Chain A
Amino acid sequence: SQQGEEDPQALSIQEGENATMNCSYKTSINNLQWYRQNSGRGLVHLILIRSNEREKHSGRLRVTLDTSKKSSSLLITASRAADTASYFCATACSFGGTSYGKLTFGQGTILTVHP
């Protein structure tokens, strides 16, 4: 299994601060994705970074990928109360150069942003 493991399990910050969440995985990947889940809702895709990329930005989100360390980080800058949610990393298998879309999710980081 190449399940991602997020760290920390929970993070509590004040509005305006930056939030950093980390993800580690075990085997070779095709890509790594981050998802967000509001309480009791479905997951929403945030950003995808491919195995040949090292950094990617999307608005206030910054994702890094270090394939040598099999780790990724998600940075949310200038956090808002509305960013309160659970954040999951997910890895797509590297299988003969083609991924079949099966994602393996980590346990998630619960982010709480206080107004």
Chain B
Amino acid sequence: SQTIHQWPATLVQPVGSPLSLECTVEGTSNPNLYWYRQAAGRGLQLLFYSVGIGQISSEVPQNLSASRPQDRQFILSSKKLLLSDSGFYLCAWSVAYSGNTIYFGEGSWLTVV
């Protein structure tokens, strides 16, 4: 069966510090991968999605970047965090080109202070 792991679960970072959130998927190959952000427990905003290694699409301009160094690894990064980067970050995957169910990780709470 497929599983998705996301870490760290929580982190508190000072403004201007770097960020690295990691996500790995097991039990599937060539998945679509996604990073979403959720503010204040409300709607999800798609930040990045990837259909293959090294292929990253950004949905919104921001202070963040994403990379996919391996087929089932997705990394969300920032060189210098802003207060507005605080939020709940969710990694997710889906079967390539299916347009169907997205499976989410447990999320990472980021507080920038």
Contacts and interface: CB of A to CB of B under 8 A. Distances in A.
B109 interface: yes
Contact of A100 (B42, B43, B51, B109): B51
B101 A102 contact: no
B83 interface: no
Main secondary structure of the interface of A (DSSP, over half): strand
Chain B contact-residue range equals: 20 to 34
Nearest to B31: A101
Interface string B84-113: 000010101011111111111111010000
Interface of B: 6, 32, 34, 36, 41-44, 46, 49, 51, 88, 90, 92, 94-107, 109
Contacts of B6: 42
Chain A contact-residue range equals: 20 to 34
Given A41-B107, A42-B90, A100-B51, A30 B42 contact: no
Interface of A: 3, 30-31, 33, 39-45, 48, 86, 88, 90, 92-93, 98-108, 110
